[in-house]
Chain A
Amino acid sequence: MANIIEMPKLSDTMTVGTLVKWLKKEGDAVKSGDILAEVETDKATMELESFFDGTLLSVFIPAGSQVPIGAALCAVGKPGEKVAAPEAKAPPAAPAAPPDAPPAAPATPAPAAAPAAAPVSKAPVPPAAADPAGRVKISPLARKLAVEKGVDPAGVAGTGTGGRIVRADILSAKAAGGKGGSAPFAGGAALGAKGPVQEEALVPVSNIRGTIARRLLESKIQIPHYYLDIEIDAGPLLELRAELNAALEQEGVKLSVNDFILKASAEALRQVPAVNCSWEGTAIRHHSAAHVSFAVAIEDGLITPVIRDAHLKTIFAISAEAKPLGKRAKEKKLAPDEFTGGTFCVSNLGMMGIDRFAAIINPPNAAILAVGTTVRKPVVKDNSIVIGQRMSLTLSADHRVVDGAVGAAFLAAIRDLLERPSLLLL
């Protein structure tokens, strides 16, 4: 019997996936572990792996289609084997499974404890769920192998049940080595160009754009936002950063301003933990850990990779983590647990030259910090006008959770830390 490969559930919020591209075509030989296709979820582009050896007999879904979880994508079997196009969710027929009934493919196991006489079920898998606490789902053996082979499991997409990373994933990640390379953003048009601004087109909303639209609209409608501005003296911060980067260049340390902001946010959350909370309708959840996320612009959207337990990490550890996270975010290679579970978010448009802005809260966070650019301008110091390096910070807060005075205390804590940045090295 041919094996039917179905659309797997690749993220906790995924309901449909876009089949971006087939990497194998009908008639190709397929080995277990081969990548059959690329699938775009609402968050990232992921690889669809075959669990079977054989021939790709039939492709049911053309590239570019949106496909619900559990729907048949293709069939792998013996060369020449006939495959009927799958019917959408065929209802149970016989009281007992026929003797040669195909089992569910490993990627989408049948639900356990089906009624005794039920046929092999093809119902969608229940949500596998990236653990909100940020644990990487990995088998004990794969974890041990990852250490032995020097593979960081956080960057490996799991192909086991519920997205669990299994032995084969670590081995193929090791074999793949550091492949990557993101598509560049489209360049700007030349000045003085003629013709239309762009092609007239109706572009279907991608999964990621749909998710952004839905979540941010929900946020703006449901969360009573208010905004607090503060301007800080960024001089000491820039000096310390330059000094550290020069001194530690050999060690490969290159701290960004954003690394200082992330670290300062984590420390400020420790000082004003009321900001590290979530509104849950009848209760307010207090988070024990500060998982600080940061917004990264990617093609067709943005994503917020998370620094887990930032409150326990040095600025150097945060920097070492943020850099590859940002890079892989741009490549759309983040695993679901790398962009979920944040408790606070930083959005920085300073490098784009924006003076100040107000960000939309990323639910279920209670606040988001918007960081503007640093500008040289006159400031009054000791009754005389001097040149200052000023950076503006804007906190958007959920008034249901964080009242104005609490938000102000939080911003003050951030300012104190950033203006005395050596405290962030403790």
Chain B
Amino acid sequence: MSQIQYREAIRQALAEELTRDPNVVVLGEEVAQFHGAYKVTEGLLEKFGPKRIVDTPISEAGFIGMGLGASMLGVRPVIELMFWSFYSVAFDQILNNAANVRYMSGGQIQCPIVIRGPANGGTNVGATHSHTPENVLANHPGMKVVVPSTPYDAKGLLKSAIRDNDPVMFLENTILYGDKGEVPAEEYLIPLGKADIKREGTDLTIVSYGRAVIQSLAAAHLLQQEHNVSVEVIDLRSIRPLDIDTVLASVRKTHRALVVEEQKPFCGVGAQLAYMIQSEAFDELDGPIARLSTIDAPAIYSPPVETEQLPNPQRILRAAIEALG
């Protein structure tokens, strides 16, 4: 196995699927000639040509609507958003149309689009470029929502997303793009809706996804070193479908749960998880379900303060200690 960057893993997934299926196309602002704002699509134009790697105008509602229409006729577009924050320009196309096409057509029409791009804070790009809309997206039946934390997961999940016949929202992270991880040379897929236990433990279950998983693992390490607390870290990988069974099995083992999300708390993914855990495993809980989220405010522009607004290992560690009380 070789160590490759998260962005390279996504690029490999795109290239493999573009090669495997001639219906796969890549659309987005500057994905072709400029190789993507974060260089994820580097080299794809040269390899697959301008009919399959398409630069679009700065018009999310337009090019996402175009991709959606094309998908209904058999094309499998992978649409890049420069930032997921701009999805709201195309809110109607994504959440009113794409999410409902199969249902409204009585199952006759499929909508196999993937919309992908970074959705994260922590890079000092301000409140309008730092949205994490996985909860908003997952609130819509018909949507699938994937948030990978590692290069291995990003590649395997993106290939499954492209082959899926429903709209899949794929939320990446600009801070993770440069992270390296092991990815096998041979082809593999990771099914959507299957959580991964990233670290085994016995005293506390941390449920997380995306970059918060990486930070939870750092906190789990500190908790073991400094407090002799054994933490299990579960990476949901996909928010919808949600692998609640893996979460519940872990809670039944540790009896304590902490949800960590890079996400505003109000009506967030953590709220849904807390509800589901107590609903299914109330008698297994030895304390209230704890939650560590982004502090509830627009993304703060000051870099040191933004670091404290987001989940970070020290905040997670403190929340974990409290969850153990």
Contacts and interface: CB of A to CB of B under 8 A. Distances in A.
Given A96-B307, A101-B314, A116-B305, A106 B321 contact: yes
A357 interface: no
Nearest to A1: B226
A356 B162 CA distance: 88
Interface in B302-324: 304-305, 307-309, 314, 317-318, 321-322, 324
A161 B325 contact: yes
B314 A160 contact: no
Contact of A160 (B287, B305, B308): B287
B286 A141 contact: yes
Interface stretch (B58-66, B78-86, B97-105, B277-285): B277-285
Given A96-B307, A112-B322, A139 B317 contact: no
- Which of B284, B304, B321 counts the most chain A CB atoms within 10 A? B321
Contacts of B31: none
- Main secondary structure on B side of the interface with A: helix
A116 B318 contact: no
A99 interface: yes
A140 B283 contact: yes
B146 interface: no
B286 A166 contact: yes
A140 B322 contact: no
A97 B305 CA distance: 12
Nearest to A105: B321
Interface string A130-173: 00000000011111100000000000000011001011000000
A410 interface: no
- Which of B227, B255, B317 counts the most chain A CB atoms within 10 A? B227
Given A106-B324, A167-B255, A140 B308 contact: no
Nearest to B296: A113
Contact of B286 (A96, A105, A116, A139): A139
Contact of B321 (A95, A104, A116): A104
Contacts of B286: 139-142, 160, 166-167
Given A109-B322, A144-B283, A117 B308 contact: yes
A150 B324 CA distance: 25
Interface string B111-147: 0000000000000000000000000000000000000
A260 interface: no
Contacts of B304: 95-96, 117
A120 interface: yes
A12 to B, nearest CB: 18
Contact of A104 (B283, B305, B318): B318
A103 B315 CA distance: 10
A116 B308 contact: yes
A160 B227 CA distance: 17
Interface of B: 226-228, 255, 282-288, 295, 300, 304-305, 307-309, 314, 317-318, 321-322, 324-325
28 contacts: A52-B227, A53-B228, A95-B304, A96-B304, A96-B307, A96-B308, A103-B317, A103-B318, A104-B318, A104-B322, A106-B324, A106-B325, A109-B321, A110-B318, A112-B322, A116-B305, A117-B305, A120-B318, A140-B282, A140-B286, A141-B284, A141-B286, A144-B283, A160-B287, A160-B325, A161-B287, A161-B322, A167-B286
